[in-house]
Amino acid sequence: MIRIIPAIDVIDGKCVRLTQGDYAQKKVYNEDPLEVAKMFEDHGVEYLHLVDLDGARKKHVVNYRVLEKITSRTGLLVDFGGGIKTDEDLELVFKCGANQATIGSVAIIDPPLFEAWIRKFGSEKIILGADAKDGKIAVAGWLDVTDKDIFDFFAEYQLKQIKYVLCTDISRDGMLQGTAIDLYDQLNIRFPELNIIASGGITAISEIEKLDEMGIFAAIIGKAIYEGRIKLKELEKFSGK
């Protein structure tokens, strides 16, 4: 059964969503992310993807208090991403209760540091985050598309013991126009040992069912929940609630 992971993106301590990572296209959905997290938990959700958008922009973890509040007041297993650039950032995230940390830019910009984190904290605690456009890795808040192929990127880190990979097709994220089913199918076929987390553009329950049929490990769902395209009640069948 596919793992359902709702997303909470945080700016100024509030639950927001962006469109294609554009901070100018910000919509506030709730002043209190804890309320949203509790709502998810009430519907049988066990996992949460928490993104510190302030941290991503400022290049250090900012909204760790939100993480701490959610992990201390719910039973959700939280993976936290955004602004993790140093040992201190990563240690703070785990100290505040994160179950896993999602890390993208460092894996591209400073591979030795990222590999050191895998060795220190273990591959169960680190998720390799990869934003892709037309099969190429994008960095710097999606502003820069590199010439690095996503398949080569995953292959390199699979050799370095990574187990969890979160792949976001940035052309689809926040657009409510469907997710990159073909991309995830290709990744799943090429990397059967990796736990592939699909992210970006999931708009309908039928897409989640398709990803489940394909054997995709997990799906992150954001704007579709907040805009009412996917009801939390519909997701309960994936949690066994």
Catalytic residue (choose from 79, 89, 131, 169): 131
**Tokens standing for residue 90:** 């990563």
131 is catalytic: yes
- C-alpha distances (whole Å) from 192 to each of 5, 154, 155, 202, 214 are 20, 12, 11, 22, 11
CA 123 and chain centroid, separation:
16
Q: Give the residue among 205, 140, 134, 206 at the shortest CA–CA distance from 170.
A: 134
Structure token pair of residue 207: 């897409």
Side chain identity, residue 107: A
| From 9, 52, 54, 89, active-site residue | 9
φ, ψ (nearest 5 deg) of residue 178: 100, 155
- Count of other CB atoms within 10 angstroms of residue 34: 16
Known catalytic residues are: 9, 131
